[in-house]
Amino acid sequence: MAASYSKLCASSHNLEYDAAKRHLDELEAKYGITIQRRRAKKTVAAACREYGVPFICKDVSEMLSLLQRRNFDWSETAGEATPEKYGRCKSALDWYFDRRPPSRTGKDKYSIVRYKLLREFMRNSPPDFTISDKCCDYAKKDVAKAFNKEYSPDLAVNGMRRAAASPATYPAFR
């Protein structure tokens, strides 16, 4: 049984499966709790129309978006593309040209090399659409931030359901 002072919230961004909605209903019935359903500031579709669409994942989308906003020439070489030429996007340039120092484990999840042939694909097929990592900000993150601001919780837990992740991606779920 949840403590009477617990406050729970779920964002509604118009892309939920019926199973996810039923899951919330089942949790409420099973534990005798109330889960507030809050509407997203913007739906995922509206955020994508306004800011651009995600590409592969949020990390890749963020880097590609930074480069796109600076009119990056996808065919440039590492020597031609400098922070002076493209402004404040050194991290995105370092990501694109794989100039970041390797991690201690040798497996850097923030390296373009992790996405086989992505750089070559971008050179051969530059995106003719806007790429952005902002869809989740308006659909989920802003909802959680507003909830946390309203209730000032001692502990805020934001995340995904276990079924949404694959065991290969998240070993903790095995």
Q: Count the Cβ atoms, other than its own, within 10 Å of residue 100.
A: 14
d(CA 99, CA 125): 22
CA nearest to 88, candidates 103, 67, 107, 109: 67
HSE-up of residue 9 (Cα within 13 Å, Cβ side): 22
pLDDT number for residue 161: 52
3-state helix, strand, coil in the chain (%, to 5): 45, 10, 45
Looking at residue 125, its pLDDT comes to 95
> 111-122, pLDDT tens digit by residue?
888 888 999 999
The strand pairing partners of 9, in sequence order, are 36
* pLDDT value of position 61: 94
Two tokens at 111?
């390296």
Q: What is the mean pLDDT of the chain?
A: 83
User: Would you say 67 and 90 are in contact if contact means Cβ atoms under 8 Å apart?
Assistant: no
pLDDT band at 8 (very low <50, low <70, confident <90, very high): confident
User: What pLDDT digit, counting tens, does each position of 123-141 carry?
Assistant: 999 999 999 999 888 888 8
Q: Read off the tokens for 48.
A: 């994508």
Residues 144 and 75: their CA atoms lie apart, in Å, by 40
pLDDT of residue 70: 95
Round to whole Å and give the CA distance between 63 and 57. 10
Task: Tokens for 76, please give them.
Answer: 């440039």
